[in-house]
Structure 1
Amino acid sequence: MRYLVESFAVSALTRGRSVEQFLGPVGDAHAPGVRWVEVVPTNSEFKVVLHMSADVGNEGFYDLVEFPPLDPESEDDEFGLEIATAAGPRDALALAEHRTGAVRGRWVKQGVAQDEYRDFVLAGRPQQAAPC
């Protein structure tokens, strides 16, 4: 099973492991991109990081962290934009969902969002996010 039930996502974060979620397409026909959100535990809090990159992958190349930034002129950190912080893991997940449109039942372990991206590519890069 790819998706983490909420208690497993919270447990992963409590153990110091990030969770993430592929959010789908962003940009336009001239600059297609994709975005995903990550909740990252630190020593004292949980950071919500939104990533946006150029959609340069294919079914054989889908490692999202290797993709270039969506806007190469942007001064934002190429590893994502911190959009929120929370004191606890449940609050961080809720913030991520509220601020990015992430869905409660679609969190995955770190590194698995790239598999979601691959599914997106194999589905023909639909403009709407996959249904829950």
Structure 2
Amino acid sequence: MRYLVESLAIGALTRGRSVEQFLGSVGDAHAPGVRWVEVVPIGSEFKVVLHMSADVGSENFCDLVEFPPLDPENEDDEFGLEIAVATEAHDALALAEHRTGAVRGRWVNQGMAQDEYRDFVLSGRPRHASPS
């Protein structure tokens, strides 16, 4: 089972584990990139972080956190852009979905968005594919 039902995503977050979701392509033909969103439990809060990186991967190189930033001149975005903070796990997921287009029912455990990226590569890197 790749995707977490909502109760399992919330359970992972309340146990201190991040959840994430691959969102697809970003950028243009001259600077192709990919983006994914992560909900990270930190203390008593849940931070929503949007990541964008250059699309330099392949079927055999899918570790998104190893990809360089989409904009190499903006090092502040290298580790993601915090877009929201919530005090409840459910609210953090809802904020991530509302602000990034993430889809309920497509959350995965930390480190598993790379499998979604591999599927994206194998399908020919569609520019306007829906995550659902």
Which TM-score band applies after superposition, normalised by the shorter structure? over 0.9
- Residue in structure 1 matched with residue 26 of structure 2 by the alignment: 26
Say if 1:26 and 1:32, in contact at 8 Å, map to a contact too: yes
Q: Which amino acid aligns with 2:57?
A: G
- Residue in structure 1 matched with residue 113 of structure 2 by the alignment: 113
Structure-1 separation of matches of 2:107 and 2:126: 20
Q: Which amino acid aligns with 2:84?
A: A
Q: Which amino acid aligns with 2:63?
A: D
- Residue in structure 2 matched with residue 104 of structure 1 by the alignment: 104
- Residue in structure 2 matched with residue 125 of structure 1 by the alignment: 125
- Kindly report which structure 2 residues correspond to 1:74-113, keeping only aligned pairs within 5 A, or say none: 74-113=74-113
Q: Let me know the Cα RMSD of the aligned residues.
A: 0.9
Q: TM-score, normalised by structure 2?
A: 0.97
Structure-1 separation of matches of 2:30 and 2:57: 16
- Residue in structure 2 matched with residue 65 of structure 1 by the alignment: 65
C-alpha displacement at 1:131, in angstroms? 5.0
Q: Which amino acid aligns with 1:91?
A: D
Q: Which amino acid aligns with 2:19?
A: V
- Residue in structure 2 matched with residue 17 of structure 1 by the alignment: 17
Identity over aligned pairs, percent: 83
C-alpha displacement at 1:129, in angstroms? 2.6
Q: Which amino acid aligns with 1:27?
A: G
Structure-2 separation of matches of 1:25 and 1:81: 17
Structure-2 separation of matches of 1:131 and 1:55: 17
- Kindly report which structure 2 residues correspond to 1:35-46, keeping only aligned pairs within 5 A, or say none: 35-46=35-46
What are structure 2's unaligned runs of at least 5 residues?
A: none
Report the 3-state secondary structure (helix = DSSP H, G, I; strand = E; otherwise coil) of the residue aligned with 1:7. Answer: helix
Report the 3-state secondary structure (helix = DSSP H, G, I; strand = E; otherwise coil) of the residue aligned with 2:24. Answer: strand
Report the 3-state secondary structure (helix = DSSP H, G, I; strand = E; otherwise coil) of the residue aligned with 1:59. Answer: coil
Structure-1 separation of matches of 2:98 and 2:85: 13
- Residue in structure 1 matched with residue 49 of structure 2 by the alignment: 49
In 2 relative to 1, CA 131–102 (structure 1 residues): closer, same or farther, beyond 3 Å? closer
Provide Cα deviations, 1:10-31, integer angstroms capped at 9, x if missing partner: 0000000000000000000000
